[in-house]
RNA sequence: GUGGCCGUAGCUCAUCAGGUAGAGCACCGGAUUGUGGCUCCGGAGGUGGGGGGUUCGAGACCCCUCGGCCACCCCA
């Protein structure tokens, strides 16, 4: 095909799907508002160094998945592969960190991965970040908030919360040495990927999908045994709060996160309904990142959720969030004079009924074809103008759904009142 | 980045020792001069992802390429 196509992995979200997106975004926005979180909007492009410093030099995201390019003045810029780094940068730069902050953002992220269902090169996340709160009550709040969102979206019972603590960077370093020592003795039993990770990022071996590797890990030292006292207490308190709120979760001692900046709490919400892309939401604590990026030492916790995956899950679980019909009222007119009257009357109706979805037929056509459109619009009521109505200064008001009464002609002056009544009747 | 499956009308698919394509749904129109949902009739819509090759002839075979999907990798 010679015509221009969208870039691989960057998809159009079509009118048939946008109602789900809008419903999802509305739910998320109102929930976050109800918890007192404020929206922040950051640029999509940042200096490349922001991401390499925060996500980690040797992570796959930074090494081979970023869309990086040179600006006209020679600076290295990148499309953001995630939102936390930019959010932290914005908070530091704008002096937001003098007081605790509860922030959220939404928007496109970019990673050059092999596309699959639930994984695009341009994808969308909503991120939630909190700054300046070191105590585990905020970890708990974020997790409870996310659980409430699944509940509102109708698939809480389709997802599982996995939880772990990876401790301080010191305790993690000690564990890392122990793990490398153990796995080093069994190097030959490791698969190729894990042998590579033994050099680059040993902790990532913990969540390998290879069954043999997992079996080998049964005899490995446990991260929990290396937790420092403060991290252990933090984790215990978090669990106490989640238990008190009645939220069930699975402790996954092998849950580590791919991004370098996490410490202590890490968690993931996973589902089995989306194939290999089972993680719909993930996050954790990253107390060191703000200082690492040049801000004052500030504790932080946050998470991000993948909107494509949430939309897929909504469809999978048959959510009825999306609006079923396009219209409440559909106006049709046959004849030039009737059209004049219809346009005039509908415009004044719009003054009086601002929340009514009022469609006017466009493009002409026979009475019959206009009626078909009215039916397909899903409208509860059709308004009809023809020669008779024009002559009598009336309009025909026809209920389209069963058990909503007969059609009748009403004087134009009484239209708004009659329409209100008819709509109330059909609800 | 690695391995595999796949690519025919807007959508879901069919056809075929290789002889230049069909159905259902959707769309448009008609079956009463001003009335929808059911039914019937008709119409429009495809350079068979793109390029090259084999052949008298390819959507069907081969190669390349682009794209989708599945697993791995990675991650939301």
Residue A164: is its pLDDT beyond 60?
Answer: yes
Among A29-38, A80-89, A212-221, the minimum mean pLDDT is found in A212-221
Residue A319: is its pLDDT beyond 80?
Answer: no
Question: Quick one: A279 and A135 in the same domain?
Answer: yes
CA A304 distance to own-chain centroid: 8
Q: Residue A1: its pLDDT value, please? A: 40
pTM as predicted: 0.92
Instruction: Give the distance, in angstroms, between residue A2 CA and nucleotide B56 C1'.
Output: 30
Nucleotide whose C1' lies closest to the alpha carbon of residue A278 = B76
Instruction: Give the distance, in angstroms, between residue A318 CA and nucleotide B38 C1'.
Output: 28
Instruction: Give the distance, in angstroms, between residue A411 CA and nucleotide B27 C1'.
Output: 36
Q: Look at residue A197 and tell me if it is in a domain.
A: no
Distance CA A103, CA A87 (A): 9
Question: Quick one: A126 and A251 in the same domain?
Answer: yes
Mean per-residue pLDDT, A275-285: 93
Mean per-residue pLDDT, A117-129: 95
Q: Residue A323: its pLDDT value, please? A: 67
Q: Residue A260: its pLDDT value, please? A: 80
Question: Quick one: A151 and A265 in the same domain?
Answer: yes
Question: Quick one: A337 and A304 in the same domain?
Answer: no
Question: Which of A83, A73, A99, A95 minimizes the C-alpha distance to A50?
Answer: A83
Q: Which residue range forms the structural domain that includes residue A143?
A: 18-167+227-317
Higher pLDDT, A3 or A52: A52
Here the CATH number for the domain that contains residue A360 is 3.40.50.800
Which of A259, A283, A317 is a domain's end point?
Answer: A317
3-state helix, strand, coil in chain A (%, to 5): 45, 20, 35
| Nearest residue (CA) to C1' of B69 | A116
Distance CA A329, CA A398 (A): 10
Question: Quick one: A145 and A72 in the same domain?
Answer: yes
Residue A427: is its pLDDT beyond 90?
Answer: no
| Nearest residue (CA) to C1' of B66 | A1
Question: Quick one: A299 and A333 in the same domain?
Answer: no
Q: Look at residue A108 and tell me if it is in a domain.
A: yes
CA A313 distance to own-chain centroid: 11
Question: Quick one: A248 and A383 in the same domain?
Answer: no
Kindly report the bases of strand B lying within 7 A of a protein C-beta atom: 1-3, 27-31, 34-37, 47, 49-50, 66-76
Higher pLDDT, A185 or A132: A132
Among all chains, which residue has been given the structure tokens 């089972």? A278
Helix (H, G, I), strand (E, B) or coil at A110: strand
Question: Quick one: A338 and A295 in the same domain?
Answer: no
User: What is the number of domains present in chain A?
Assistant: 2
Q: Look at residue A201 and tell me if it is in a domain.
A: no
The pLDDT mean for chain A works out to 93
Q: Residue A200: its pLDDT value, please? A: 83
| Nearest residue (CA) to C1' of B34 | A367
Residue A286: is its pLDDT beyond 90?
Answer: yes
pLDDT tens per residue across span A36-55: 999 999 999 999 999 999 99
Distances (CA, A) of A134 to A130, A137, A271, A385: 10, 9, 29, 66
Mean per-residue pLDDT, A27-44: 98
Angle between helices A84-93 and A48-55 (to 10 degrees): 110
Alpha-helix runs per DSSP H in A189-324: 192-200, 211-217, 229-244, 289-292, 307-316
Q: Look at residue A285 and tell me if it is in a domain.
A: yes
Mean per-residue pLDDT, A152-157: 94
pLDDT tens per residue across span A377-396: 999 999 999 999 999 999 99
Distances (CA, A) of A359 to A205, A208, A354, A386: 58, 55, 13, 17
Here the CATH number for the domain that contains residue A259 is 3.30.930.10
Q: Residue A4: its pLDDT value, please? A: 81
Among A90-99, A124-133, A207-216, the minimum mean pLDDT is found in A207-216
Which of A292, A317, A342 is a domain's end point?
Answer: A317
Token duo for residue A252: 């996954």
pLDDT band of A72, cuts 50, 70, 90: very high
Q: Look at residue A204 and tell me if it is in a domain.
A: no
Kindly list the strands in the beta sheet with A381-385, ordered across the sheet, starting from the edge strand earlier in the chain. Answer: A358-360, A329-333, A381-385, A394-399, A408-411
Mean per-residue pLDDT, A330-336: 94
pLDDT tens per residue across span A395-422: 999 999 876 678 999 999 999 999 999 9
Question: Quick one: A393 and A281 in the same domain?
Answer: no
Q: What percentage of chain A has pLDDT greater than the value 90? A: 77
Question: Quick one: A269 and A375 in the same domain?
Answer: no
Which of A271, A286, A317 is a domain's end point?
Answer: A317
Nucleotide whose C1' lies closest to the alpha carbon of residue A269 = B76
Instruction: Give the distance, in angstroms, between residue A63 CA and nucleotide B1 C1'.
Output: 12
pLDDT band of A193, cuts 50, 70, 90: confident
Rounded (5°) CA angle A339-A340-A344: 110
Q: Which residues of A158-177 are buried (b: 16+ CB within 10 A; e: fewer)?
A: bbebbbbbbbbbebbeebbe
Helix (H, G, I), strand (E, B) or coil at A37: coil
Rounded (5°) CA angle A292-A171-A228: 110
Residue A233: is its pLDDT beyond 50?
Answer: yes
Question: Quick one: A48 and A162 in the same domain?
Answer: yes
Residue A99: is its pLDDT beyond 90?
Answer: yes
Question: Quick one: A35 and A146 in the same domain?
Answer: yes
Model ipTM value: 0.88
Q: Look at residue A246 and tell me if it is in a domain.
A: yes
Q: Look at residue A112 and tell me if it is in a domain.
A: yes
Residue A324: is its pLDDT beyond 80?
Answer: no
A128 forms bridges with which residues in the sheet? A104, A303
Distance CA A277, CA A311 (A): 13
Instruction: Give the distance, in angstroms, between residue A13 CA and nucleotide B65 C1'.
Output: 26
Q: Look at residue A351 and tell me if it is in a domain.
A: yes
């Amino acid at each position: 095909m010679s015509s221009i196509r969208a870039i691989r992995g960057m998809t159009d979200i079509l009118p048939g799907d946008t109602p789900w997106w809008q419903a999802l975004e509305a739910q998320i926005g109102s929930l976050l508002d109800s918890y007192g979180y404020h929206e922040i909007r950051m640029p999509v492009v940042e200096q490349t160094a922001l991401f390499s410093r925060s996500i980690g030099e040797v992570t796959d995201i930074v090494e081979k998945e970023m869309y990086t390019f040179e600006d006209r003045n020679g600076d290295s810029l990148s499309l953001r592969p995630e939102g936390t780094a930019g959010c932290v940068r914005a908070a530091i730069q704008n002096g937001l960190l003098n007081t605790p902050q509860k922030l959220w953002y939404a928007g496109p992220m970019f990673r050059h991965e092999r596309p699959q269902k639930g994984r695009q090169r341009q994808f969308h996340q909503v991120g939630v970040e909190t700054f300046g709160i070191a105590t585990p009550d905020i970890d708990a709040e974020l997790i409870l908030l996310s659980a409430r969102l699944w509940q509102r979206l109708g698939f809480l019972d389709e997802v599982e919360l996995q939880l772990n603590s990876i401790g301080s960077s010191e305790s993690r370093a000690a564990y890392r040495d122990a793990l490398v020592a153990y796995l080093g003795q069994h190097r030959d039993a490791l698969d190729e990927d894990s042998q590579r990770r033994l050099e680059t990022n040993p902790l990532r071996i913990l969540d390998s999908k290879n069954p043999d590797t997992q079996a080998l890990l049964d005899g490995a030292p446990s991260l929990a045994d290396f937790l420092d006292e403060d991290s252990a207490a933090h984790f215990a308190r978090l669990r106490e709060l989640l238990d008190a709120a009645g939220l069930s979760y699975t402790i996954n001692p092998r849950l580590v996160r791919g991004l370098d900046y996490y410490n202590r709490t890490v968690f993931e919400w996973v589902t089995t309904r989306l194939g290999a892309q089972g993680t719909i939401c993930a996050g954790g604590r990253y107390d060191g990142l703000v200082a690492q990026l040049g801000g004052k030492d500030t504790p932080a916790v946050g998470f991000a959720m993948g909107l494509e995956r949430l939309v897929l899950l909504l469809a999978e679980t048959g959510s009825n969030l999306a609006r079923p019909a396009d219209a409440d009222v559909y106006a049709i007119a046959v004849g030039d004079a009737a059209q004049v009257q219809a346009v005039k009357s509908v415009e004044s109706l719009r003054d009086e009924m601002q929340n009514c979805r009022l469609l006017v037929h466009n493009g002409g056509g026979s009475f019959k074809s206009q009626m078909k459109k009215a039916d397909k619009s899903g409208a509860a009521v059709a308004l009809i103008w023809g020669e008779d109505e024009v002559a009598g200064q009336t309009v025909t008001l026809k209920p389209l759904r069963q058990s909503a009464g007969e059609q009748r002609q009403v004087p134009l002056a009484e239209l708004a009142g009659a329409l209100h009544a008819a709509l109330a009747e059909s609800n």
